Amino acid sequence: MLLQNERTPVRYAPQEAAQGAALAPASLQLQSSDAEIEPFTFTFEVVRPNVFRTTYSSASRPIPPFASAQRPSPGSCPKDVASTSDKTSRSFTTSAAKASIEWSNAPILSIDLKDATTKKPLHQDLPFRSYSADGAGVAHYSVYKKGTLHVGLGEKAAPMDLSGRGFTVSASDTFGYDAYRTDPLYKHIPLLINVTQDAGAVGIFSTAHSRSTWSIGSELDGMWGAYKVHRQAHGGLEEYIIVGQTVADVVRSYAELVGFPLRVPRYMMGYIGGGMKYSMEDTPRAHDCIMGFIANCEKHDIPCTAFQMSSGYTVAEVEPKTRNVFTWNRHRFPDPRAFTKEAHAHGVRLLANIKPYVLATHP
């Protein structure tokens, strides 16, 4: 998946943002000019007092389309940001944090809380190797803090602390996964949160849907010291770095960026039935199996308010028995509308499983 054929541009200079780029008022854009590596653009923006947006891209590695978070408009970004600069560095100070970028070699972004008293920044890119071209994608290296807590990436194999381990970020259909050895079903969110004992918390969130890997201190290389690295298989990088006094601060700012969860509907408060077996039955028909399950719940006073259909209802009736989204297996469910009305009459909502793809052979 990942080539690890890395090239790291090291000659950078400030560049005016292209017309229409619409960077935030407090921002910086750098352009590389290495002789044997295509030009790369690095951008940094202050989008909230404690949230910073960075991008790293080139002509052959553009920012992937359909980002998973809507970019804050420049008009909504902080304007009361203090900034100082010299020939190869620039710093920004907000009401909540302070950030600096140094580009005498590869850009090094350092971020800390405004009133921090610790010597080491809450976040710091790895010197001399921070942003690299890697095959058709890119890699972002940052300093790894031993002895601190790392959580996130959606939901990964146990234990909860991800420190010292490596992970693949890919939305695979891991049916029957092992909670201790494999990734779970679908829960892949490229947000990594690092929690320190006394310096606060920091989250790194990637908006791309490209497959990627995270090495969280699992790679050891004496040439570079302790580091973590996010390798993205395709395209340029768009990341948001979020700092806060607590994990709650980081999670709230993350939610404000990507959107808060929808309010849970009333029908999700009861018992939610389900299981792949029910919608996969041909004899007796899946329709009758599911209604039999609902009847059993009523018989035993189990307040079933919803039923997870799994994907058996979409399985084709003839070989190859593929799962075709937005279709019904009419042998298992002869009359989907009547089946739905019957379930609703018993106070049970049906939760449809929809695969995140359409097959080329879809009817």
Q: How many CB atoms lie within 10 A of CB 218?
A: 16
Closest CA to 180 of 198, 165, 190, 199: 165
Residue 354 pLDDT:
84
Residue 1 pLDDT:
52
Q: Which residues contact 164 (CB under 8 A, 6 or more apart)?
A: 216, 217, 218
Instruction: Tell if the pTM clears 0.75, that is, is over it.
Output: yes
How is 76-95 classified by DSSP, letter by letter? GS-S--EEEEETTEEEEE-S
Residue 115 pLDDT:
87
How is 233-260 classified by DSSP, letter by letter? SSS-EEEEEEEESSHHHHHHHHHHHH-P
Please give the CATH superfamily to which domain 6-258 belongs: glycosyl hydrolase (family 31) (2.60.40.1760)
* CA 361/CA 63 separation, integer angstroms: 30
Residue 88 pLDDT:
96
Closest CA to 9 of 28, 33, 30: 33
At 342, which helix (H) or strand (E)?
A: helix 336-345
Residue 50 pLDDT:
98
The bridge status of strand 40-48 relative to strand 27-32 is antiparallel
User: What is the pLDDT tens value at each position of the chain, 363 positions in all?
Assistant: 556 789 999 999 999 876 556 788 899 999 999 999 999 999 999 999 999 999 999 999 999 999 999 999 988 999 899 999 999 999 999 999 999 999 999 999 999 999 888 888 999 999 999 999 999 999 999 999 999 999 999 888 889 999 999 999 987 778 788 888 888 777 788 999 999 988 899 999 999 988 999 999 999 888 888 999 999 999 999 999 999 999 999 999 999 999 999 999 999 999 999 988 999 999 999 999 999 999 999 999 999 999 999 999 999 999 999 999 999 999 999 999 999 999 999 999 999 988 878 999 998
Residue 10 pLDDT:
97
Q: Are 31 and 21 in contact (CB under 8 A)?
A: no
The pair of three-digit structure tokens given for residue 210, joined into one six-digit string: 């490209």
φ, ψ of residue 321 in degrees (nearest 5): -80, 75
- What residue segments make up the domains of the chain, in order of their start? 6-258, 266-351
Residue 141 pLDDT:
98
